[in-house]
Amino acid sequence: MKLCSKKWGNEKYLITDESDETLEKGLDEIRIAFNKMPVIQSLLKDFEKNKPLQDLVISCCLHVTKETANLMRTLKAGGADVYLCGSNPLSTQDHIATALASEGIHVYAWTNNTDEEFYECVDACLIPKPNILIDDGADLIVTAHKNYPEYFEKDGCIIACQEETTTGVHRFESMDKNGALKAALFPVNDASCKNQFDNELGTGQGVVAAIYGMHVLFAGKTVVVAGYGHCSSGMALRARGLGARVIVTEVDPVKALKAVFEGFEVAPMNEIVHKADMIFTATGCNNIIAKSHLDKLKNGCILANLGHFDVEIVAKDLYAAANGKIKTIRPSVEELIMPNGNKIYLLAQGRLANLALSEGHPAEVMDMSFALQAMMARYISENRQVLKVKHSILKVPDELNNDVAFAKLEAMGIKIDKWTEEQYKYHTSFEEGT
């Protein structure tokens, strides 16, 4: 069965496995995830009826998972023509890509694509002159700025952009500061309904699932967590909950202090790297496990990165040190023998282990992240005239963030209090004090 060849008219982008079995597996997984995404469910229904995205082309660069699939289906139900490429070479799940293609989403993604193929896929999503870009890590939007500057001009196709992850937001903050950002950009990652659940709960659980898959016990282990942001603090808590002794490393004094007050040992990496049974990096910065650390790593140490790019652990230097003594012992788990004889286990070649080794963050939290993305797309469509002339980072409106929280609570059957008129008056007045 060839699902995509005719539509794309380009043999190069054929999904390699389009068998009935693969397709059914993909469709089943998407359906089961949908069942855990009640906010997306209600949005999809609403979008089907009201078609808020009619006539828009939306291009996305996201991890190709069952949860992303449900966002893609929602955007399509809203009337958009939807293009999708993967945001990381190892996170694309081919059966999901196949299933999405069968539903008329233009998918340009397959697992383990090369850097060159990765950018070919990004380009394939930019050629159709998109109106909205939804990114995870900024590669799509940055490439659009570089290769299609005319899209951002007054009569260009781009209305506004949305970013899913911390690393992407940091890149856009730097573009914004340098005057290089040419469109309105909504950092969906910075909405509390996204980062307090997806980042804090999802990242840690994704990594725990990866380590469980290796059949390794957390209890009794010394776990080093690099960074104490949303993702890493969630990871530190989960490792502690499973009985590990957790040491946090940080550069930000406030985050370091927070880790201390939350009961973690905090120390510089250099001083504790030799103690670690597992090291998790989620800093968004490079050389966290640097060349100088490699001969200090303990025998059996597991190295896993949770950050968006594969720069936090110096994988290249690690491979060079192993000098060919490298064995893949499980999918995406490599055993490297160091010159001192110590065995090191590197996950996903230093790419984000929470997506490469497990299925990503669970549907229950992605429900909120992707509901926000869908609502933002609708908001952009409704406010296109105003947004078209903005060239900076804008905040996701608080009402949308609250709408998602209310919808999630309602779906969970949880009611909350409402201010009385008197309380509202008190709360919003500056006059009443002692």
Residues that bind ligand SAH (CB under 6 A): 62-63, 65, 67-68, 136, 164-167, 189, 198-199, 202-203, 231, 284, 306-308, 352, 354-355, 360-361, 366, 369
| 322 versus 352: smaller Cβ distance to ligand SAH | 352
Closer by beta carbon to ligand SAH, 224 or else 355:
355
Q: Which residue, 222 or 373, is less far from ligand SAH as judged by CB?
A: 373
Q: Which two tokens stand for residue 56?
A: 């828009």
Residues 6+ apart with CB under 8 A from 207: 235, 238, 280, 304, 306, 353, 354, 358
Give the helix/strand (H/E) hosting 10: none
- Which tokens belong to 22? 């693969």
Q: What is d(CA 151, CA 130) in angstroms, rounded to the nearest whole number? A: 8
* Closer of 193 and 224 to ligand SAH (Cβ): 193
In the complex with ligand SAH, the residue whose CB is nearer, 68 or 113, is 68
Please, which residue, 113 or 354, has the CB nearer to ligand SAH?
354
CB atoms within 10 A of CB 424: 11
Name the maximum alpha-carbon separation found in the chain: 75
Distance CA 347, CA 330 (A): 10
Tokens for 299, please give them: 């025998």
**Cβ-based nearer residue to ligand SAH, 165 or 222:** 165
Residue number with the shortest CB distance to ligand SAH?
360
Burial 225-240 (b: 16+ CB within 10 A, else e): bbbbbbbbbbbbbbbb
Q: What is the DSSP string of 33-82?
A: HHHT-HHHHHHHHHHHHH-TTTT-EEEEEE--SHHHHHHHHHHHHTT-EE
Tell the smallest beta-carbon distance from residue 188 to ligand SAH (Å). Answer: 9
Q: Tell me the two tokens of residue 359.
A: 């299925």
Phi first, then psi, for residue 235 (nearest 5°) are -65, -45
Comparison of 15 and 368: residue with beta carbon closer to ligand SAH:
368
Give the DSSP H/E element, type plus range, for residue 108: strand 106-108
Cβ 21 to ligand SAH shortest distance, Å: 22
| Residue closest to 69 by CA, chosen among 108, 97, 104 | 97
